[in-house]
């Protein structure tokens, strides 16, 4: 894969993450300077080596000062705002890790972490937790409830038109991810067997997807029928393969 193709594939793979991040940043209240400082310092840490040291200084100095204000002045706002800055920058940090990944496993893990965290933050911010204090407490509460196995919090993004617009970029990012992992493994993805498998998969799933859009009430039956057909096809294929 050429450098130009790789850059285009990385841009397509990052598109749904960056769109979701831009959507929640447009609503999130980041007017607190500690929030901006936290986000900027975390991004600088994953940057170049020279910038990394500046980022470390920007992390430790505000962190120590915010802890001082929390303990001595009994002012939790700077500490919480700084933590919220780290949180809102997390998807971008994972995206940078995806772009700089050296192995297919690192690429896929970073992509999944960036995608899931961006959707979780989008759902939280659009769910009303759009200030540093509310977002921090909401996520801490969700973590504690998960650890204690008590009532779980819904971190899924709400169904808004903006979320529906992520469907196409997500599909493109998945295809780009396959291309990138294939190139890192040293083999081209567009081989005859791969293309046949892709065409077969699309031909199998497309009728069920179209049925669920036109007749949502029978979407479950369409999915079950598709799954049964795929399992039957696999069983016949394995039987023929054993005969050979």
pLDDT of residue 210: 72
pLDDT of residue 94: 93
Question: Which of 14-28, 141-155, 162-176 is modeled with the greatest confidence?
Answer: 14-28
pLDDT of residue 243: 55
Confidence tier at 95 by pLDDT (50, 70, 90): very high
pLDDT of residue 58: 74
State if pTM tops 0.85.
no
| Residue with more model confidence, 228 or 219 | 228
DSSP code, position 160: -
With b for 16 or more beta-carbon neighbours within 10 A and e for fewer, the 57-79 pattern comes to: ebbeebbeebeebeeeeeeeebb
Choice among 120-129, 176-185, 220-229 with the minimum mean pLDDT: 220-229
List the one residue out of 24, 176, 23 whose CA is nearest residue 108: 176
Q: What is the pLDDT of residues 43-52, one digit of tens each?
A: 887 766 666 6
List the one residue out of 41, 182, 43, 166 whose CA is nearest residue 115: 166
Confidence tier at 103 by pLDDT (50, 70, 90): confident
Distance CA 121, CA 135 (A): 9
The H or E element spanning position 127 is none
pLDDT of residue 21: 92
């Amino acid at each position: 894969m050429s450098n130009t193709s790789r850059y285009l594939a990385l841009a397509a793979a990052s598109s749904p993450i960056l769109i979701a991040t831009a959507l929640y940043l447009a609503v999130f209240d980041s007017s607190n300077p500690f929030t901006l400082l936290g986000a900027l310092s975390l991004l600088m840490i994953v940057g170049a080596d020279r910038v990394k040291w500046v980022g470390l200084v920007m992390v430790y100095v505000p962190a120590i000062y915010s802890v001082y204000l929390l303990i001595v002045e009994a002012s939790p706002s700077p500490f919480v705002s700084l933590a919220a800055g780290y949180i809102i920058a997390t998807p971008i940090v994972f995206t940078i890790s995806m772009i700089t990944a050296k192995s297919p496993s690192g690429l896929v893990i970073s992509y999944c972490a960036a995608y899931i965290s961006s959707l979780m933050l989008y759902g939280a911010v659009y769910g009303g937790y759009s200030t540093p204090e509310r977002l921090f407490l909401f996520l801490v509460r969700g973590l504690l409830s998960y650890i204690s196995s008590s009532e779980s919090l819904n971190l899924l993004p709400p169904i808004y038109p903006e979320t529906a617009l992520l469907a196409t970029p997500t599909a493109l990012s998945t295809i780009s991810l396959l291309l990138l992992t294939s190139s890192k493994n040293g083999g081209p993805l567009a081989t005859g067997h791969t293309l046949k498998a892709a065409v077969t998969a699309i031909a199998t799933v497309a009728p069920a997807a179209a049925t669920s859009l036109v007749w949502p009430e029978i979407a479950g039956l369409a999915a079950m029928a598709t799954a049964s057909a795929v399992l039957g096809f696999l069983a016949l294929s394995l039987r023929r393969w054993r005969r050979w």
